[in-house]
Each structure stands twice: as structure tokens, then as C-alpha cells.
Amino acid sequence: MAVLTQKKPTTIVEKLNDETWRRKFLRNVLIPWLFIAPLLILHIYVVTVPAVQGIYMSMTDWKGVGQNANFIGLENYRELFFEDESFGKAFGNNIIWMIFFLTVPFILALFAATMLSQIKRGGMIYRSVLFIPYVLASVVTITIWKNLLNPQRGIGAALDKMLGLEDAFGIAYLGRSESALMSIAFIDNWHFWGFLMILFLAAMQAIPPVLYDAAKIDGASEVIATLLYKNAFFRFEAGYGAAMGVVISIFAGFIIMIFVTLRRRGWDI
């Protein structure tokens, strides 16, 4: 006995006349786009359009006021890279800033997370205290440190008074070109590293204690990183420790290169 099967709609007219297809289209396509449309329109208006305008304006001689903007091509970029010395200095400051935030906050956060993971009682209190700076508004953070670094009534002035010194620590850290960058970097780091600490701590607490015990038995604490630390800070062989660091970097880069190559070739790793 022949089994009758319903023919699937193939043309646009057949799909529009098919009630099942209309329901799927409404549920899987139309309704999701209706929900996301307001955010998409806002993103295009606030981000995409200004970005395109900014790219165009970078190729004109617009002064920032008025509508007179003559197209000059890549002339601004030529001046930027080959004539403007202040750009090179500012770019160097950005590199310093990037290096600072790729090292110091992560080191502090990992160290604090390691310490907090060993606390059995009262750990939540310490976590909350260290995390509070991250939830403070930027205006509040700036106000706090503006007063703390004030040369007349800040921390430096208090240290000068305590030690009987004059203008040794009570200087305008935020007002001197040689200290302003690192002072602001320190403040931003104080504001941010607590968030990284919470992430590291959550990851550490998800590791079963059995793995830590097995690592101790198997001698997992004599890896190169630990040996580097001992050479640099206990044996005071910083140059030798730096050589170890270079070797670790080259090795890590080699492993990452292999991983990326295999992923591009379709390996599911």
C-alpha cells in the first residue's frame, strides 16, 4: 500500500501558502529580528556611522568647526608618522601603558587569588574588600586618588611630616611629566585588578583538590617558571632568569604556532 507524503514547499508562493512554514519563519526569523532591531539600529547610529565618518574626516583638512572639509587623501597620515614628534612620544606612552596592564594587574590578581584560595574562614570579607575598587564609579576613584596624591595634604605630605623631611614625598605626582603616566597607571590598576582576582579565584576553586595533591606528589612545583623566580629573586641571577624567560616565550610561541596551524587544517583541538 502506497504511503502518501506531503510535498515540501519549494517556491516562494508555495512557502507563503504553507502554514507550517509561515509559523517557523515567524518564530525563527521574524520575531528574533524584531527583538534585536532596536539595539541594531542604535548600534549603527551610535557606533557604525560615526566610525565611517571618522575614517572619512581623517582624510580631510577639517578644523573641527564649520562644514568646510577638503579631501586631502593620506596627507594627515604622512604628517602623523613622519613629521609629528609628539605622536611618537604619545605612542611610546601607549606601549608603556600596554606593557604595564599586561603584567602588573595579572600578577597581583593571581597572587591575591592564590592567597585567598587558601583561606577557609572569612574569605568573603577579604574578597569584598579587594573587589570594592572595581565597583566604584570612575569619578569617585579619581576624587579619592586626587586627594591622596595631593602634594600638600596627601600621602606624600604625611610621610614627609612623619619622617621630618621636606618635599621628599610630597610632590605633585599627577602634575609632573615624569611621574604622571605611571601615577595614572597605578590608579587604574588599583581600580581594575580586583576584577581579575575574582576571575582567577573562581577558576582555582573549580579545580578539584585531588589535582593539587597529585601535583605536589608528582613534583609539579619545579617547572621552569618556578626555577626562573628562584634564580631572579633568591639567587639574584636576574640575567640568567631573563634568559629562562626568553626560552619560555619562544617555547610558548612555538606551541601556539603548532596549535593554530592544526586548527586551520581542521583538527578539532
pLDDT in tens, 212-248: 676 666 555 575 566 666 666 666 655 555 665 666 6
Same domain, 129 and 197: yes
CB 215 within 8 A of CB 226: no
Alpha-carbon distance 111 to 125, whole Å? 17
List the one residue out of 141, 161, 142 whose CA is nearest residue 151.
161
**Is 96 domain-assigned?**
no
- pLDDT band at residue 3 under the 50/70/90 scheme: very low
More confident residue, 215 or 155: 155
Sign, Cα dihedral of 114, 118, 124, 126: negative
Residues with Cβ within 8 Å of residue 156, at least 6 apart in sequence: 149, 168, 169, 170, 171, 173
**Is 248 domain-assigned?**
yes
Q: Domain of residue 245: give its range.
A: 217-269
**Is 237 domain-assigned?**
yes
Same domain, 182 and 225: no
Name the β-bridge partners of 71.
60
Question: Is 157 a residue whose pLDDT tops 50?
Answer: yes
CB 104 within 8 A of CB 189: yes
Average pLDDT, the chain: 79
Q: What percent of the chain has pLDDT over 90?
A: 4
Using alpha carbons only, give the angle 96, 100, 104 rounded to the nearest 5 degrees. 165
**Is 22 domain-assigned?**
no
More confident residue, 69 or 42: 42
pTM of the model: 0.56
CA distances from 205 to 191, 216, 219, 222 (A): 24, 17, 21, 22
pLDDT digits (tens, 9 = 90+) for 73-108: 888 888 888 887 877 888 888 888 888 888 888 888
Same domain, 111 and 204: yes
Give how many domains the chain has, as a whole number. 2
Q: Tell me the three cell numbers of residue 108.
A: 597581583
**Is 90 domain-assigned?**
no
- pLDDT band at residue 1 under the 50/70/90 scheme: very low
- Identify the CATH number of the domain in which residue 163 sits: 1.10.3720.10
